[in-house]
Amino acid sequence: MLYLAYQQLKTSEHDAYQQSLANVNTASNLISAQIEAAISKLYLLEDTTSVSKFDNTAQRILKHNPVYSDIIYVNNVTGQYRSMKLKPTNSEKNAHIQWSKLSKLSNQLAVSSLYEKKPGQWVFAVRYTPTQEHQIWIEFDLMHTTQSLRGLRTLTDGYVFVIDRNTGRLIFHADPNRIGTPSVSFHGGISELISHGSLFGDHEYYYRDQYKVSVYDADNPFNWVFISGTDRSDILQDSYQFSLAALVIASLLVIAIGFKYLSQRFNQSIRELSQQETLTDYKQHLRFILDQFCDHKGVQFCLYDNNHGHFSTIDFHGNTHVVLTDKNLAAQFEPNIIKNVSSRGADTLAKKLQITSRHYAIPLFDKSELIGVVYMQVSYSTFKSILHLIRNYAEISLANLILNQSLRSQDVMTHLDNKLTIRGEIDNHLGHTNVFFALIDIDHFKRINDTHSHLCGDLVILKTAEMMEKCFKKPKAISLARYGGEEFCVLFHATDEHDAYEQCDIFRQVIDHANMNFSGRDVHFTVSIGVTNVKESQHVTIGAADKALYQAKGLGRNQVVLNTFRF
């Protein structure tokens, strides 16, 4: 009975954790999609050629989009603020409004902190600053916007909410009356964790006579915190019936059952670690193992690239971020050596990760080659035999995962997906709405090779791959691939055809303005792009994109052509 009670409790905890992770991810996607849709409206407004056309377009946008509260035009020269709904603009002139730039999209775009439009009406805005002379704002009516999150539940009593880190107030909540109020959970410990560099994790706090268990994610460009969780009692309720019966026999069986359970659980967890198919799943499962069998205050996992000396973290969506380039530090790690390090002895990578307390530095090797590092913060020493055992299996699993991913799905040069991988992804998304495919070709690539050498051509290919990863981020990007030679392709989500075109044109502009120096000479290059929606088959989809690419080249290159008509 004790085993069943404990098993049920762990299952409920795991279910709550997994549901919370899924809800945070879904909420992030829903809100990101709304903001990206607003950005496309801002670009549409900027394209208007007169004040009357601007006003007519703005009124049409407000009429058909109830999530928008207002559109504001700001003249930076005169300081005039003009509301499309003819409302007072004193709230928009508030000097306390803070802006978070969406630099990965454009330095001209930013999202505001939460502010009060009028008593009881809280809004935030997306701002577009195309020139030094003027700005355009789209304000979101949170009474409407927050409704998209009401259906996200964790177990029975849990839900999802979002906090503005600038103000500490609720910006999205299942209860509209809570919007704009200070968040107890944020000020109850999550803000402190974030200030110490833990942008993602779990947290437990006390609120209204209940212990709350939550997962939070602050790793986003909006300066917001997404939180999902439920009451501790919600997790415990399924295990109560087993617990009452277990008390009768617990004194006789607890040691034997506990030891057997932990052994089985450890063996099962280790086996599952070797079965993970992505680095994100590997990271989460390794954290899950350490949570089960080690007492710690936090875990950080970094991959190491021997070719470039990069230490990289992996975010919730599977994107990698280089946090440090230091081959000398990598050389200091030794196989089979786990170091217990004081706060003063932290290495440069630990400092970059803002690890300020005692911790274990656990290097992961593939033979003699460093492939990753795990930092586990602790209050006191733990059994090194357990850490060595976990480390041994983690090394084998990570080495096999990296090798299998490289062999199965990656282009050797760019580390993007290969042709077979993206073709498979197209097949997996046939019949899906709002999924688009783009073929990208580097213009006059032979001329680059002939003029600057093939080494320069290789650097142009690597630069293009790097810009693709920055412009097409997961989870919106399904697959980024090198199709062959100087040709690349992207399978991605978009809200509509206009959004798909805009995403590709932003990438084209980024390439057009990219600076690359080779042997003391500036090298400028452009790309042509053909875009289509996913059609009835892989071959038809690729053919339609190829036809659009051919048209883009015919128009003079450095163009994006959209082809969404069925053959």
314 found inside a domain? yes
User: 399 with 429, same domain?
Assistant: no
Which two tokens mark 40?
């496309």
CATH number at residue 316: 3.30.450.40
**pLDDT per position in the chain (567 positions), as tens?**
555 556 666 676 777 788 888 888 888 888 888 899 999 999 999 888 788 999 999 999 999 888 899 999 999 999 999 999 999 999 999 989 999 999 888 899 999 999 999 898 999 999 999 999 999 999 998 887 777 677 777 777 777 889 999 999 999 888 888 899 998 888 878 888 898 889 998 888 777 777 778 889 999 999 999 988 887 776 666 555 555 555 655 565 667 776 777 778 888 888 888 888 888 888 898 998 888 888 888 999 999 988 778 899 988 777 778 899 999 999 999 998 999 998 888 999 999 999 988 999 999 998 889 999 999 999 888 778 888 888 888 888 888 887 776 666 678 788 899 988 899 889 889 888 899 999 999 999 999 999 899 999 999 999 999 999 999 998 899 999 999 889 999 999 999 999 999 999 999 999 999 888 898 888 999 999 999 999 888 999 999 999 999 999 999 999 999 986 543
Q: Helix, strand or coil for residue 187? A: helix
Domain final residue, candidates 357, 376, 407:
407
Q: Are residues 281 and 389 in the same domain?
A: yes
What is residue 365's three-state secondary structure? strand
For the purposes of burial, counting CB atoms within 10 Å of the CB of 45, is it exposed (0-12), middle (13-18) or buried (19 or more)?
buried
User: Does residue 394 sit in the same domain as residue 542?
Assistant: no
Residue whose pair of structure tokens reads 């089960």 in the numeric block: 292
- Asked whether 544 and 532 are in contact (CB, 8 A), the reply is yes
CA 493 to chain centroid, in Å, comes to 14
Nearest Cα to 559, choosing from 524, 525, 529? 529
In a domain, 271, yes or no: no
**Strand pairing category for 99-101 and 339-341:** unpaired
Q: Domain holding 427: CATH number? A: 3.30.70.270
Contacts of 403 by beta carbon, 8 Å cutoff, 6+ apart: none
**ω into residue 130 within 30 of 0, thus cis?**
no
Instruction: Tell me the C-alpha distance between 206 and 42, whole Å.
Output: 42
236 occurs within a structural domain: no
Distance CA 67, CA 139 (A): 9
Angstrom distance (rounded) from CA 31 to CA 148: 9
Task: Tell whether 428 and 402 lie within a shared domain.
Answer: no
Domain's final residue, options 356, 378, 407: 407
Half-sphere exposure of 553 (CA within 13 A, CB side): 12
Q: How far apart are CA 183 and CA 225, in angstroms?
A: 11
Task: Mark whether 391 and 456 lie in a shared domain.
Answer: no
Helix axes 419-428, 538-554, angle to 10 degrees: 120
Q: What are phi and psi of 171, to 5 degrees?
A: -105, -25
- Domain termination residue (choose one: 374, 407, 440): 407
Spell out the residues 6+ positions from residue 46 whose beta carbon is closer than 8 angstroms to its own: 128, 130, 136
Spatial separation of the C-alpha atoms in residues 567 and 518, rounded to whole Å: 44
- In three-state secondary structure terms, 224 is strand
Contact, 434 vs 493, CB < 8 A?
yes
Q: Are residues 90 and 125 in the same domain?
A: yes
Say which DSSP state 368 is in: T
- Exposed, middle or buried, 309 (CB in 10 Å: 0-12/13-18/19+)? middle
Tokens, residue 41: 């409206």
Go through 339-365 and write b for each residue having 16 or more CB atoms within 10 A of its CB, e for each that does not.
Answer: eebeeeebbebbebbebeebbbbbbbb
Number of domains in the chain: 3
Whether 239 maps to a domain, the answer reads no
Question: How far apart are alpha carbons 182 and 326 in whole angstroms?
Answer: 42
Are 94 and 155 found together in one domain? yes
48 burial type by CB count under 10 A (0-12 exposed, 13-18 middle, 19+ buried): middle
DSSP 71-136: EEEEETTTTEEEETT----TGGG-TT--EEE-TTT-TTEEEEPPEEEETTEEEEEEEE--SSSEEE
Read off the pTM. Answer: 0.43
- Is residue 438 within 8 A of residue 559, CB to CB? The reply is no
Q: Judge contact between 146 and 176, C-beta under 8 A.
A: yes
Give the separation between CA 204 and CA 190, rounded to whole angstroms. Answer: 9
Cα distance between residue 83 and residue 261, in whole Å = 65
Q: What Å distances lie between residue 117 and 52, 83, 91, CA to CA? A: 25, 12, 6
206 in a domain, yes or no? Answer: yes
452 lies in the same domain as 382: no
Q: Of 295, 402, 291, 394, whose CA–CA distance to 336 is shortest?
A: 394
515 and 471, same structural domain? yes
* Amino acid, res. 220: N
Domain range for residue 70? 13-230
Q: What is the dihedral of CA 225, 25, 153, 37, to 10 degrees?
A: 80
pLDDT the model gives residue 566? 45
CA distance 359 to 297: 9
State the Cα–Cα distance between residues 399 and 338, nearest whole angstrom. Answer: 18
Quick one: which of 448, 471, 457 has its CA closest to 560?
471
**From CA 385, how far away is CA 36, in angstroms rounded?**
49
Residue 543 domain-assigned (yes or no): yes
Same domain, yes or no, for 321 and 364?
Answer: yes
Structure tokens at 362: 């656990």
Domain check: are 23 and 169 in the same one?
yes
In a domain, 397, yes or no: yes
Q: To which residue do tokens 């080495």 refer?
A: 399
Amino acid symbol at 449: N
Q: What are phi and psi of 195, to 5 degrees?
A: -65, -25
Query: Beta 169-172 vs 200-207: how paired, if at all?
Result: unpaired
For residues 91 and 115, the answer to whether their CB atoms sit within 8 Å is: yes
Spatial distance between the Cα atoms of 444 and 119, rounded to a whole number of angstroms? 59
Same domain, 440 and 339: no
End-to-end CA distance of the chain: 64
The DSSP output letter for 443 is T
